[in-house]
Structures are given as C-alpha cells and as structure tokens.
C-alpha cells in the first residue's frame, strides 16, 4: 500500500470525522448540540445523539420523518441521500464516514484476517428495506407514530457514539437499562470483533447507508475507470482491494468504496478514480511503476 496515499486518505477521513463531530466540549456534561445545523444531514453514518455531532444522521432523519404522525416518507432525507449518492456514490463510505474510519482503525488490531462470503453482502439491503423503510411506517403506536427501527434494534454507531457516553454522564438513564441495551451492546461487540477480523464488516454486511450509496455507484459522478489498453490483467488491483472487488471486472461494483488502493497498486497506471474522463479514453502517459 502506498504510504502517501494512505496518509492522505486517513487525513481526509479524520478531517471529515472532525467536521461531523466538532462539539467535543459536550462530552463531559453529556449535552447535545442544539444549533440550526442539526437539521441538515451528515453524508456518513453518525448518530445525532453523539454529544459532539453537528449534523443529523441521514438514516435517523429518514426514520424520524417516516415515523412521524404527519408524514410516511422523508423527501428531504431521500433527496440528500440521492444528492450525495449521485455526486460521490460510495466514496462517502471510503472518505467521509466516521463509522467507516472507526472500523478501519480497529481492523489494524493484529488478528487473523478473513474475507467475507458474497452472500452476506445482501443482508444490508434487507436491513434497509425492513428496518429503515418499512418498520417505521407500519409498526406504529395508537397515535400513528413509528419508531426508528434500525436505530433502535441494530445501529452500533448510536450505541458507541451516543449510548456509552450519555449513560456515563446521565445516571437517570442508567436506571432504565434493559434487554434492548443488552441487544445493542451485543451487536456493537459483534461489529467490533467482526471489523477486527473482516475489513469494514459493518459496511459490507449491515449498513443501510452503504446499501443506498452502493446502488448509485453505477451513476455517480465520482467513479472508477479502467483503461483496457493499459490493463495487463495482472490482478494486482483485485489483490490490493480490501473490499474484495475486482475493479477490472466490476468497476461500478456496489461494494467499491472508491478508496483508491487499486489505483496505487496498478503497475500500469491503468485505473482512474475521480470526477473527470470518459470510458475508453487513454490515461495520460506517466512513468510506469
């Protein structure tokens, strides 16, 4: 892996993390930011109950509106996800998502590393359809209000970023701990252990945001191209890809997070990731590696 590329990407990921969670001074008191920016959606998965969070989680926002008494679908959240997706696709996951960064960092913990069977990749679409879109609308109380089912039953980001810190600073909340917290803590532990062993375990198996952005990889402006004239089918890009994507066979794979590791690995400079260029146009001559 190219050191400069790794440093550049980590730097941007940390900057994105800082932009998503700038209100660090809220942690000791367990307060939440209450300013006007909280109504706007973060591109990545970041719980709005995190004391440091500036923006709203897009998945939480989607469920909040669709579970409300007034509306059954959030055009605003869907529009924001569509906008992020059509511009960046799953590059949001690779460069901007705070929880993605967290998983990459804990994957560095020394342990046996494993791949992921392809069948597991479809689970996140079921999570999206059932927990994010369906349950907040159909599982309603007597007032017609639904709960954010993904946030309530699955999301480990909420447990990690919000639950642990807020339970530490709010003793009155600790008195209401029950089996639901046990379930969410168990999922968080499972995700952490999974991420240590499997690269970006949550992103690939459970994340509904990754599911949405992945669907838009085919049309996103930020895209990946392989120059067939330069490619020698050496598979260096496939071996370098930690999401187990073959960029030559599936440049628009729904699993590609546009991290650029394949670009760095290609000995023939045959891969481009970015906004410009059309398919089939030769990349500029540069010294081959």
Partner 1 sequence: MRMMMALTACGFILYGTARGELDIIWNKAVHICLECIGLG
Which spans in the chain are helix H?
A: 3-20, 58-66, 75-88, 91-95, 98-106, 123-127, 135-138, 149-153, 156-157, 164-169, 171-174, 179-197, 201-205, 208-215, 236-240, 261-265
Q: Which of 203, 242, 197, 190 is nearest to 120 (CA)?
A: 203
Q: What is the CA radius of gyration of the chain?
A: 20
CB of 191 to partner 1, least distance (A): 14
Q: Which of 263, 255, 217 is nearest to 237 (CA)?
A: 263
Distances (CA, A) of 153 to 41, 61, 187, 214: 21, 16, 9, 23
CB of 235 to partner 1, least distance (A): 30
Q: Kindly tell me which of 112 and 178 has the beta carbon lying closer to partner 1.
A: 178
CB of 65 to partner 1, least distance (A): 5
3-state secondary structure of 12: helix
Contact residues for partner 1 (CB under 8 A)? 32-34, 36, 38-41, 47-49, 53, 56-57, 60-61, 64-65, 68, 70-71, 74-80, 82-83, 85-87, 147-148, 151-152, 155, 158-159, 162-163, 166-167, 170, 173, 176-178, 180-181, 183-185, 216, 219-221
Q: Kindly tell me which of 11 and 219 has the beta carbon lying closer to partner 1.
A: 219
CB of 59 to partner 1, least distance (A): 10
Which spans in 158-235 are helix H?
A: 164-169, 171-174, 179-197, 201-205, 208-215
Q: Kindly tell me which of 65 and 265 has the beta carbon lying closer to partner 1.
A: 65
CB of 152 to partner 1, least distance (A): 4
Q: Kindly tell me which of 118 and 170 has the beta carbon lying closer to partner 1.
A: 170
Q: Kindly tell me which of 61 and 266 has the beta carbon lying closer to partner 1.
A: 61
Distances (CA, A) of 114 to 148, 153, 194, 211, 249: 32, 26, 10, 22, 22
CB of 7 to partner 1, least distance (A): 32
Q: Kindly tell me which of 137 and 173 has the beta carbon lying closer to partner 1.
A: 173
According to DSSP, the residues that pair with 274 across neighbouring strands are 223
Q: Do 1 and 87 touch, CB atoms closer than 8 A?
A: no
CB of 12 to partner 1, least distance (A): 24
Q: Kindly tell me which of 79 and 115 has the beta carbon lying closer to partner 1.
A: 79
Q: At what angle do helices 208-215 and 58-66 cross, to 10 degrees?
A: 100
CB of 251 to partner 1, least distance (A): 16
Which two three-digit tokens encode residue 227? 């120059």
CA atoms within 13 A on the CB side of 211: 20
According to DSSP, the residues that pair with 228 across neighbouring strands are none
Q: Kindly tell me which of 23 and 238 has the beta carbon lying closer to partner 1.
A: 23
């Amino acid at each position: 892996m190219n050191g400069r590329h790794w440093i550049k990407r980590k730097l941007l990921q940390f900057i994105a993390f800082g932009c998503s969670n700038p209100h660090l001074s809220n942690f000791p008191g367990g307060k939440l930011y209450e300013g006007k920016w909280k109504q706007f959606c973060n591109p990545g998965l970041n719980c709005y109950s995190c004391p440091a969070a500036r923006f709203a989680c897009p998945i939480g926002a989607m469920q909040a509106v669709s579970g409300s008494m007034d509306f059954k679908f959030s055009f605003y959240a869907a529009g924001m996800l569509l906008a992020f997706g059509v511009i960046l696709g799953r590059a949001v996951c690779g460069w901007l998502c705070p929880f993605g960064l967290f998983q990459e960092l804990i994957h560095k913990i020394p342990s046996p590393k494993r791949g992921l069977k392809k069948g597991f990749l479809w689970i996140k679409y079921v999570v999206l359809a059932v927990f994010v879109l369906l349950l907040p609308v159909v599982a309603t109380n007597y007032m017609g209000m639904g709960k954010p089912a993904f946030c309530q039953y699955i999301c480990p980001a909420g447990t990690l970023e919000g639950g642990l810190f807020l339970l530490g600073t709010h003793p009155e909340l600790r008195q209401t701990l029950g089996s639901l917290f046990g379930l969410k803590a168990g999922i968080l532990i499972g995700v952490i252990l999974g991420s240590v062993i499997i690269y970006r375990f949550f992103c690939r198996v459970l994340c509904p945001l990754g599911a949405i952005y992945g669907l838009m990889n085919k049309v996103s402006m930020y895209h990946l191209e392989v120059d067939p004239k330069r490619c020698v089918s050496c598979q260096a890009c496939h071996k370098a890809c930690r999401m187990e994507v073959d960029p030559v066979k599936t440049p628009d794979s729904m699993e590609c997070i546009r991290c650029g590791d394949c670009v760095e690995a290609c000995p023939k400079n045959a891969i481009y990731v970015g906004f410009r260029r059309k398919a089939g146009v030769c990349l500029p001559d540069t010294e081959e590696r």
